[in-house]
Homo-oligomer: A and B are copies of this chain.
């Protein structure tokens, strides 16, 4: 059955890239010199390493690393993608004639545009009726496979916040960046006594990165529940606080 999934590489402090570049550079060399690039390269280093390993092997099989297995699994599971406008704009030129999606991609945007057909099975359809409609279209196009939220962070938060995400996988790189663009921020729109509950379903410990996968249970009230513990257990005395 089709699930709506998302996966992102983040630093241990929750950033998926460096701080936003106020210049909004239009080309890759501008972006490379901006503040986003160093953090981005660091959190996705495991991907590049796994891809480089695949390249070296000529995709010929043999021993696979945990990380390359997880990448292959991720590519194979997605039958269609949903993408934010900013990510599309940044990617359109560098992805070129054969983008790495090999599946229909639905871009959430305010500007309508003709469908863009690319080689290798990738197409970009521009959806102006909002994120829910984009997911509906992607679901129909996914042929029973999953709908993957390609990014960026803002779209992922919208999907989560609207209760549309079924599964979230984070690839946590063992680094603290201190500042940058956060995957999760107050735009999730949760009150102080609301949370979005998840259930851990898989943890894979690799040398360069920790992969944690969750099923999203949904929005839930946070309760002041000390589970019947005595007074001393309540409050800032607890370990882990």
A61, CB-defined interface residue at 8 Å: no
Do B44 and A238 touch across chains, with their CB atoms under 8 A apart? yes
Complex CA gap A208/B52 in Å reads 36
Q: Specify which chain B residues have a CB less than 8 angstroms from the CB of A55 in the assembled complex.
A: 229-230
Do A227 and B49 touch across chains, with their CB atoms under 8 A apart? yes
Q: Chain B's nearest CB lies how many Å from the CB of A32?
A: 6
A45, CB-defined interface residue at 8 Å: yes
Q: Chain B's nearest CB lies how many Å from the CB of A196?
A: 4
Q: Chain B's nearest CB lies how many Å from the CB of A77?
A: 11
Task: Given the known inter-chain contacts A100-B237, A190-B179, please indicate yes or no for A224 contacting B37, CB distance below 8 A.
Answer: yes
Do A12 and B214 touch across chains, with their CB atoms under 8 A apart? yes
Q: Specify which chain B residues have a CB less than 8 angstroms from the CB of A129 in the assembled complex.
A: none
Do B192 and A45 touch across chains, with their CB atoms under 8 A apart? no
| Chain A to chain B contacts (Cβ below 8 Å), 16 pairs | A8-B240, A8-B241, A9-B238, A12-B170, A19-B192, A37-B224, A38-B224, A41-B222, A90-B236, A94-B234, A99-B237, A175-B198, A178-B184, A178-B185, A203-B210, A210-B212
Do A96 and B222 touch across chains, with their CB atoms under 8 A apart? no
| Size class of the A contact interface (CB-based, 8 Å) | 35 or more
A176, CB-defined interface residue at 8 Å: yes
A121, CB-defined interface residue at 8 Å: no
State which residues 1-20 of A face B: CB under 8 Å.
7-9, 11-14, 16-19
* Complex partner residue of A229 from B51, B74, B152, B205, CB under 8 angstroms: B51
* Complex partner residue of A190 from B178, B227, B238, CB under 8 angstroms: B178
State which residues 199-232 of A face B: CB under 8 Å.
199-200, 203, 205, 207, 210, 212, 214, 222-232
Do A239 and B47 touch across chains, with their CB atoms under 8 A apart? yes
Complex CA gap A11/B224 in Å reads 16
State which residues 32-46 of A face B: CB under 8 Å.
32, 35, 37-45
Complex CA gap A212/B198 in Å reads 17
Q: Specify which chain B residues have a CB less than 8 angstroms from the CB of A164 in the assembled complex.
A: none
Do A231 and B94 touch across chains, with their CB atoms under 8 A apart? yes
A144, CB-defined interface residue at 8 Å: no
Do B28 and A227 touch across chains, with their CB atoms under 8 A apart? no
Task: Given the known inter-chain contacts A48-B227, A151-B241, A203-B203, please indicate yes or no for A28 contacting B171, CB distance below 8 A.
Answer: no
